[in-house]
Amino acid sequence: MTELPARWRMPLAGATVCAVLAAIVIVLREDSVPPPATPAGPVADQPMVLVLRAVDFVDERHWFGVRGLCQETDARRCSHTLLESEQGQLRFRELPAELRGQRGGTAIGVTVLGPERLLVQSDPGRRWYSADRGQHWAEVGPDAPPVGEIPANGILERYCEPAPGCTPKIMVTLPDSGRRAELRGVPPLTEVVPHTRFADADGRWRLVGRRADKPVLAGSADRGRSWQVSELPPGPPGRLLDAEVALSGRSTYLRLTSRTPERDAKPATALYREDGARWQLVWRSDPAGPQPRSLTGVLPRPGGQLAATDEQGDGWVSADGGRTFQPARPEDRIPRGWPRRARTGYLAEAGNTLSHSPDGVRWTPLPNG
């Protein structure tokens, strides 16, 4: 299955997401489908809860998401619906036939490949493609031949064949078919990790990995046709699990998480900063040091400051370039949990609600119908 981006608690897995939308007008047009009925039978007598499980954005005012109607006593048993929100209007769309109805333990993700093009993924690694906002679906075929650049609306994935001793490849998901294609010309890195599936706000695509057992950052400003590799100061030992970039003022921050193979080993975090010259290691986790002892997310703040969240979901703010952190104040409006990058900013999860922020400061809950 495609490996979805995530926090270090589940390496490279998938994710999730405050202000209030004034009004949401639910429009059911001819090209929409009605919301799913409450399941019949014994399940209908059980308390149910609505959960917005996956969201991806076309732009700040246009997104698609997977909504689950789940048993309150067993959040794994849900019936799922595809939602589309555009300019505040919410529409119900159909998922592929194989994903309709109540299902147990099936994770469903959605990826936007353009204003009307969608990819839906589910366990165990199946993918469906739609070119008309979910009105028609076709299961995605085998991988396409390698490509030399990332096309517009394409995304990056780290992919391993399900076999022992896998060497991960960096793949491009093609927006015209949903098929994967290996990206040629990627620097020969081990433990390679794309920190997001899309370009950063500065238009650069970034990968993190190791070269000669040293951590490095590879960046491309031309959609993957060429790459510049920067060596990073040594951080905590262990296999790379997760990477995240935050652009704040004139500084670029990079958070890396790694873990050693010991059974009880905890993930360790390194935070780097670059101000136009070389990368500096400015912070690293210390189990015996002051709080925070780990960083699970980083967010830009006004004035070049940096915000972060820790493994308990608490918020922190740094005013000295990431060297020290102070507990966040209510006015800092850092959401609890583990914010993650989105194509149009950030998503954060609070209970069963996802919130979106274009800048890591202003948060808006997303409706779930």
User: What's the chain's Rg over C-alpha atoms?
Assistant: 21
Rank 40-44, 160-164, 305-309 by mean pLDDT and report only the highest.
305-309
Given this model, what pLDDT does residue 160 score? 79
C-alpha distance from residue 326 to each of 98, 239, 243 (Å): 48, 29, 22
pLDDT in tens, 144-189: 999 999 999 999 998 877 666 677 889 999 999 999 999 999 999 9
pLDDT average, residue stretch 81-97: 94
Given this model, what pLDDT does residue 35 score? 56
pLDDT average, residue stretch 200-216: 92
d(CA 257, CA 215): 11
Given this model, what pLDDT does residue 350 score? 77
Q: Indicate the DSSP class of residue 310.
A: -
Q: Please tell me the pTM assigned to this model.
A: 0.82
d(CA 234, CA 240): 12
Is it the case that residue 14 has pLDDT exceeding 80? no
Given this model, what pLDDT does residue 31 score? 45
Is it the case that residue 142 has pLDDT exceeding 90? yes
Cβ neighbours around 73 below 10 Å, total: 10
Given this model, what pLDDT does residue 44 score? 52
84, 91 contact by CB (below 8 A):
yes
Confidence bin at 34 (pLDDT 50/70/90): low
DSSP string, 260-285: -SSTTPPPEEEEEEESSS-EEEEEE-
Which stretch of 20-29, 32-41, 129-138 has the lowest confidence by average pLDDT?
20-29
- Residue with the bigger pLDDT between 28 and 177: it is 177
Given this model, what pLDDT does residue 263 score? 83
Confidence bin at 291 (pLDDT 50/70/90): confident
Mean pLDDT over the full length of the chain: 84
Given this model, what pLDDT does residue 11 score? 38
Given this model, what pLDDT does residue 162 score? 66
pLDDT average, residue stretch 125-133: 95
Residues of the chain with pLDDT > 70, as a percent, come to 87
Given this model, what pLDDT does residue 1 score? 42
d(CA 167, CA 101): 37
pLDDT in tens, 245-283: 999 988 999 999 999 988 888 899 999 999 888 999 999
192, 183 contact by CB (below 8 A):
no
Is it the case that residue 18 has pLDDT exceeding 70? no
Is it the case that residue 13 has pLDDT exceeding 90? no
d(CA 292, CA 298): 13
Is it the case that residue 32 has pLDDT exceeding 60? no
